[in-house]
A and B are shown apart, each in its own frame.
Chain A
Amino acid sequence: MGRNEIKLRDKRLTPDLVKRYRNYSALLKKVERDKRYRQTLRIFIISIIVTIIVLLLIVVSYTLVEWEREKEINKGKKETSYAAFNLTSCIKTSAGNCNR
């Protein structure tokens, strides 16, 4: 609620004077340009989102494949070491009788 600046003027805007600024075709062009810009921006944003989703899917699937592969390798290793352990224990006892 501050003080306002108030001016008293004698000049009145005549329709002829205002007519200089009235241009509907220019306004329509501006609106069309803005519509195109917004559409392009929307497509750009959607394509970025799609790209991010695809990249995420690739990363996730790659990680899953790697994880599965590591699991397989670990499983294989475990089986090998278990077999080796059994074999070793058998050899050790074979000094006497191979008794499992």
Chain B
Amino acid sequence: MTDEEINAEYEILDRAKRDPAAFEILYERYFDRIFNFIYRQTDDEDLTADLCSQTFFLILKNIDRYQYRGVPVSAWFYKIAGNEVNKHFRKIKQTKMFSLEGSILRNLIEQENDDFDDAAIHRLLLFMQDLPSDMLEVLQLRFYEDKDFKEIAFILDQSESAVKMRTYRALDRLRTSFQLKIKYDGKE
């Protein structure tokens, strides 16, 4: 996202502070992405709809408190959505779930040999189950939501260096355990 685009969205948000109807542009733009983001952590359509609605409700409710921090406004939306999901899982006392689209996962992995089939994917999932949750969160935001490190740091309330370290560690683990080559554009 360019600086102009970030500023344009911030201006919309600023306008929405006085006139909530102005927020509709951002709502339409990000609803699907936030919905998918939540769905990947719940795997339940109705629950996702509730949490997504609550997320946008909280965004509008707290719009006056939003301060520009050099990241796209969508990072703030993701942050609120992530908090709502975590709150839900804390409330029901269950571990968070990650529901990943097979097609995206397969796209991320460049097969080095033909042995990497569905069974290998299954083994990969088992391996990922034992990764720390924070590592999975970083991977999800990086590869499924296509967020850069600065945004991920803002969303997860961590430093940028900590986020980078976690991503590289997770990727190293995957590479060494599965001899995988993971598509990585090196975007920062």
A residues apposed to B, CB below 8 Å: 1-13, 15, 18, 21-22, 24, 27-28, 30-31, 34
Contacts and interface: CB of A to CB of B under 8 A. Distances in A.
B131 A4 contact: yes
Interface string B1-33: 000000000000000000011001001100110
The size class of the interface chain B forms with chain A is: 35 or more
Contacts of A13: 32, 35-36, 39
B131 A8 contact: no
Interface string B109-144: 000000000000110010011111110100000000
Contact of A18 (B31, B57, B100): B31
Nearest to B49: A21
Contacts of A10: 101-103
B95 interface: yes
B43 A9 contact: yes
Nearest to A35: B61
Interface string B97-110: 11111110100000
Nearest to A20: B49
Contact of A27 (B35, B56, B97, B105): B56
Interface string B143-164: 0000000000000000000000
A31 B96 CA distance: 29
Contact of B35 (A3, A4, A18): A18
Interface of B: 20-21, 24, 27-28, 31-32, 35-36, 39, 43, 48-49, 52-53, 56-57, 60-61, 95-103, 105, 121-122, 125, 128-134, 136
Given A5-B95, A21-B52, A28 B125 contact: no
Mostly, the A contact residues are mixed
B100 A6 contact: yes
Contact of A31 (B35, B60, B97, B129): B60
A24 B27 contact: yes
A30 to B, nearest CB: 6
B129 A5 contact: yes
B100 A9 contact: yes
B61 A22 contact: no
B39 A34 contact: no
Contacts of B134: 1
Nearest to B50: A21
B96 A4 contact: yes
Given A4-B96, A13-B35, A34 B57 contact: yes
Contacts of B21: 28
A21 B98 contact: no
Given A13-B39, A31-B20, A22 B128 contact: no
A41 B101 CA distance: 45
A6 B125 contact: yes
